[in-house]
């Protein structure tokens, strides 16, 4: 096998019970970008766990800095939105102070993606509980995003989320979409959502975002390594280059 020069490194902070995030990141990332992961303890997607998971944030960020990564991503929507508006930026500061590296979160990336796409109303589909959905909705609304509809499967064990079949993700996304929403969010980084994005976009005619997709997009923007990644929806295909950067700053 010929050697591939890896020009950039992404550091991923993922829940300890997540079995989907690393494979999806590796599948989507350009071959010149390598992935390096650390794990934060979480087994259940519930209120206490989504708070306690960040207790290990500094320790695991420092470990990723040892690998000299170019950026660190906390690719977890529920934990990074748990305490409302501004909480994601608190977590970013903690990661950056501990590691000396640029950092972002899934919630931060989602808000940036919506800004670049010019979207103010989203529908949300998620595998976790209605209570967890409500927390994410509150975070979005506090940041000026309307959520006309959200739907949850009610799964608490994160290992069970990782066993959801991709076709079920697609069907659940269709159920959650609403005409008044300008985009659909498939929230959670542990279900196989990336493979459903293009199929859903063709079906509903609007952007479809995922936790892993926006996290990858934000990380690639920070390291400025690629202008387009095809096959996973319009955000990664059309909004990675300089024009997207200008749009987000406008």
- Residues with Cβ within 8 Å of residue 96, at least 6 apart in sequence: 72, 102, 103
Q: According to CATH, where is 3.40.50.12500 located in the chain? A: 8-106+212-228, 110-210
- Which pLDDT tens digits describe the chain residue by residue (250 residues)? 566 677 899 999 999 999 999 999 999 999 999 999 999 999 999 999 999 999 999 999 999 999 999 999 999 999 999 999 999 999 999 999 999 999 999 999 999 999 999 999 999 999 999 999 999 999 999 999 999 999 999 999 999 999 999 999 999 999 999 999 999 999 999 999 999 999 999 999 999 999 999 999 999 999 998 889 999 999 999 999 765 654 444 3
Token pair of 188 as six digits: 């959670």
Which CATH number fits the domain 110-210, given the four candidates 3.40.50.12500, 3.50.50.60, 1.10.8.190, 3.40.50.10800?
A: 3.40.50.12500
Q: Which pTM does this prediction carry?
A: 0.94
- Residue 249 is predicted with a pLDDT of 40
- Residue 164 is predicted with a pLDDT of 97
- Residue 250 is predicted with a pLDDT of 37
- Residue 117 is predicted with a pLDDT of 97
- Residue 225 is predicted with a pLDDT of 80
> For domain 8-106+212-228, is the CATH number 3.40.50.12500?
yes
Torsion of CA 52, 53, 56, 57, to 10 degrees: -120
């Amino acid at each position: 096998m010929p050697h591939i020069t890896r020009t950039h490194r992404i550091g991923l902070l993922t829940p300890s019970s997540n079995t989907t995030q690393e494979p999806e990141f590796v599948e989507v990332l350009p071959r010149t970008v390598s992935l390096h992961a650390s794990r934060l303890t979480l087994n259940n997607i519930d209120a206490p766990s989504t708070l306690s998971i960040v207790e290990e944030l500094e320790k695991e960020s420092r470990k990723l800095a040892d690998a000299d990564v170019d950026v660190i991503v906390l690719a977890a929507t529920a934990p990074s939105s748990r305490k409302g508006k501004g909480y994601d930026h608190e977590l970013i500061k903690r990661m950056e102070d501990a590691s000396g590296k640029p950092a972002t979160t899934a919630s931060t990336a989602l808000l940036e993606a919506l800004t670049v796409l010019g979207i103010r109303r989203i529908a949300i589909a998620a595998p976790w509980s209605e209570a967890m959905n409500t927390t994410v909705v509150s975070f979005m609304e506090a940041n000026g995003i309307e959520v006309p509809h959200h739907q949850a499967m009610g799964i608490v064990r994160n290992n069970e989320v990782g066993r959801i079949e991709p076709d079920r993700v697609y069907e659940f996304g269709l159920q959650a979409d609403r005409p008044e929403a300008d985009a659909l969010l498939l929230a959670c980084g542990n279900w196989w959502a990336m493979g459903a994005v293009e199929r859903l976009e063709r079906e509903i005619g609007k952007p479809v975002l995922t936790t892993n997709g926006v996290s990858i997009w934000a990380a690639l923007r920070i390291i400025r390594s690629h202008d387009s990644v095809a096959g996973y929806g319009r955000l990664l295909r059309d909004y990675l280059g300089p024009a997207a950067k200008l749009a987000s700053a406008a």
